[in-house]
Amino acid sequence: MPELPEVESVRLSLLPHLRDRAVSAVEVRRRSVVSVTTPRGANRRLGPRDPDALLLRAARLHAIERRGKQLAILTGHSAADRVLVVQLGMSGQLFCLPPGAHLPNPTHVHVVWRLDSGARLVFRDPRRFGGVCALPNPAALAARWESLGPDALTIDAADLQPRLVRTKRAIKSALLDQQVLAGVGNIYADESLFRAGILPTARASALKPPAVERLAHAIRDVLAQAVAAGGSSLSDGTYVDANGNPGNFQISHNVYGRTGLPCRACGGPLRSMLISNRTTVWCPGCQRGR
DNA sequence: CTGGATGCCTGGGAGC
DNA sequence: TGCTCCCAGGCATCCA
């Protein structure tokens, strides 16, 4: 399940394939996964008559940026340069096929971009929680990303504290809220709280400054280590980078997916509960309120 | 306004 | 073995 480290791994592995390449053709196999943001900021589904240019046909790819779990493919910085936002959702994959290679798993492939290098960029998403959004220009991207919280990879206590003070929710719920902090999902929320020694049920607004400091540090650390490991690939096998390679941070998980197993720190059994309908795993011995 | 619940969607695993 | 059921979860949307 792509969270920030997986999305960043996709971005880094995609970059050499896309940089300065032009898009020669676009094939949309399932329009329902593609939305279009109008210059006025309204959103609609891609229509059958919409030109391929919305999905960057004939454009030259310039850069790939990331905020939280969202990727943006930029075609330049001028006010007329289109942008494509890709959200991987639960099971989304964005990968590159070398020239002449056949599509290894054609089911659930929704969009294919042919590049002037002969390579193809593929968006595949079995569960369809992800999608592609065509934006008219960089300003529309800025507007879209304005609603996201700061990127979790570089979060510090000074940014995090005022955002937590505002909400009485459980800290676990607050961490999953992309408007509070962008990039953390269920795996890295649990891993971060474990590292910081904070109970997932603790009220966000009740965390004392030292706890917020530990938490910000834990989030940055765990995300950076996960990026370095190429992300987490689970047994469902959906997460791979742009070259089709899985990550290996899952072997370093301390709590996620380890309900009932002994804590790697204190040896006590890990427990799980539902918070905001998300399975939450924690160590009663190592994690305390505040 | 806040925050909880729900639905979307498929594949994989458990249980029978 | 094959069938059914349940679960995974990001995010939009609805509701109290």
Give just the sign of the alpha carbon dihedral A169, A174, A178, A181. Answer: positive
Here the tokens at position A240 are 């791979």
Q: Is A203 exposed, middle or buried (0-12, 13-18, 19+ CB in 10 A)?
A: middle
Of A238, A229, A284, the C-alpha closest to A259 is A284
Taking all atoms of strand B, which protein residues have CB closer than 7 Å? A 90, 107-108, 126-129, 166-170, 173, 235-237, 276-277
* pLDDT tens, residue order, chain A (290 aa): 789 999 999 999 999 999 999 999 999 999 999 999 998 888 899 999 999 999 999 999 999 999 999 999 999 989 999 999 999 998 999 999 999 999 888 889 999 999 999 999 999 999 899 999 999 999 999 999 999 999 999 999 999 999 999 999 999 999 999 999 999 999 999 999 999 999 999 999 999 999 999 999 999 999 999 999 988 888 676 788 899 888 888 888 999 989 999 999 999 999 999 898 899 999 999 998 65
**Which of chain C's bases lie under 7 Å from a protein CB?**
7-11
Distance, CA of A179 to C1' of C14, in Å: 19
- Position A90 scores a pLDDT of 87
- Position A289 scores a pLDDT of 66
pTM over 0.85: yes
Question: Quick one: angle between helices A4-18 and A209-228, nearest 10?
Answer: 40
Nearest nucleotide, CA A278 to C1':
C9
Which run of H or of E encompasses A141? helix A138-146
Distance, CA of A204 to C1' of C5, in Å: 36
Of A116, A47, A37, the C-alpha closest to A70 is A37
Distance, CA of A128 to C1' of B10, in Å: 9
Distance, CA of A41 to C1' of B14, in Å: 46
Name the protein residue, with chain letter, whose CA is nearest the C1' of B9: A127
Taking all atoms of strand C, which protein residues have CB closer than 7 Å? A 1, 3, 68-70, 87, 89-91, 127, 129, 176, 178, 185-187, 256, 278-279
Distance, CA of A1 to C1' of C2, in Å: 29
Which run of H or of E encompasses A140? helix A138-146
Distance CA A271, CA A281 (A): 6
Name the protein residue, with chain letter, whose CA is nearest the C1' of B4: A276
**Which of chain B's bases lie under 7 Å from a protein CB?**
2-13
- Position A237 scores a pLDDT of 64
> Residues of A with catalytic annotation?
2-3, 69, 278
